Structure 1
């Protein structure tokens, strides 16, 4: 009986997770996932050089070349998705699908190094960010600044 209850709960959880994924636009799903992989780290609150050196290497941003700069948003995905509900503004590429919001971020800037041995400076702050959003409902697909 307990095993059946556990299985039912797991099945319900799986259905909920799939349901959440289904509301995302299919054409933008890969861009949304890429945005999450490159820019969202809701678990960390640091902003140090050690953080940047570790995360840039762990997340594969030091090969085949050292990525010059990356921003990590330190907010839960719900707060980031809510930025897409803010007033539309013009993106750097001229499209009108960008939105501005204040979140905690860590900016990682390359200081020295070669592929696999890149060194970064980290700086944490709360500031305005601009993200491009697409889909129905709109979800973040690009960090614009």
Structure 2
């Protein structure tokens, strides 16, 4: 419990330094982190149904040239998601050892309905709690890739 408290305080310090601009990710890292946020984070969700997926996939620019087949939106505070980066490393599907897992998050999976064509992509929503695996990168470690 004391270790968890220390890690929480260190994470808070790190995020404060990041927020003050004293610690900056590189441009490539910042771009990938912003992409992760755009594609996978929606902490202020209220209604998670088919129209939610259709609207958010379009707003987040995942339906303009082609319909993205599957996407998950995590409905948690960004600090909780960043905290996943401090959990124990696990093996990714690619074989690399830079993935981290969190057992219970609120999420919506959006799956493309067969026959949908861009830009009028249509999605089926599956909501609930689930396990997520992310691959962070950088110093400080920030989520860059949603693994599953």
- Separation in 2 of the partners of 1:20 and 1:81? 17
Q: TM-score, normalised by structure 1?
A: 0.82
Matched pairs, number: 130
SS at match of 2:67: coil
In the alignment, is the contact (CA less than 8 A) between 1:89 and 1:97 conserved in 2?
A: yes
- Separation in 2 of the partners of 1:52 and 1:127? 17
For residue 140 of structure 2, the aligned residue among 127, 131, 137 is 137
CA distance 1:32–1:59, shift in 2 (3 Å): same
Q: Which structure has the greater CA radius of gyration? A: 1
Which aligned pairs between 1:1-145 and structure 2 lie closer than 5 A?
19-20=19-20, 22-26=22-26, 27-101=28-102, 102-111=104-113, 112-145=115-148
In the alignment, is the contact (CA less than 8 A) between 1:46 and 1:124 conserved in 2?
A: no
Which moves more between the two structures, 83-92 or 39-48?
39-48
- Separation in 1 of the partners of 2:44 and 2:52? 12
Structure 1, unaligned runs of 5 or more: 1-15
Q: TM-score, normalised by structure 2?
A: 0.81
- The 4+ residue runs of structure 1 with deviation greater than 2 A are 16-25
Aligned alpha-carbon RMSD (Å): 1.8
SS at match of 1:118: coil
- Separation in 2 of the partners of 1:17 and 1:41? 24
